[in-house]
Amino acid sequence: MKRKELEKSLIQFGYSKNTVDKFFQLRLKPTADKMFKLEDEFGIPVHAWRDIKSYLQENNTKQNGTTTRTQGQSNGNW
């Protein structure tokens, strides 16, 4: 699931845009019971809310079959 899709789903789930923004800023998390409901509804594991931005990035990378290198990471060529 991409961030925009998740934002739209969370707003439809009943969260305000401001609250959803705070989720992605890692300043706020859903309550435990809502995390379980979101897992049932959208397939987002409870553990993903520790860092939802990283989870979405990793999930999208796996779906696309691509990997990304971080700055300074060697590609094996010297």
Number of domains making up the chain: 1
22 inside domain: yes
- As a whole-number percent, the residues of the chain with pLDDT over 70 amount to 82
Give the integer Cα–Cα distance in Å for 67 and 52.
18
Instruction: Please report where in the chains the tokens 């990283």 appear, as a residue.
Output: 54
Question: What's the pLDDT tens digit per position in 16-38?
Answer: 999 999 999 999 999 999 999 99
Q: Per the domain annotation, does 51 fall within a domain?
A: yes
Whether 71 maps to a domain, the answer reads no
By residue range, what is the domain housing residue 20?
Answer: 3-64
Query: What is the C-alpha separation between 77 and 50, in angstroms, rounded?
Result: 35
Is 39 inside any structural domain?
yes
What pLDDT is attached to residue 66? 54
Query: Is 74 inside any structural domain?
Result: no
User: Which residues does the chain have with pLDDT short of 70?
Assistant: 65-78
Q: What is the mean pLDDT of the chain?
A: 84
pLDDT of 78 reads 38
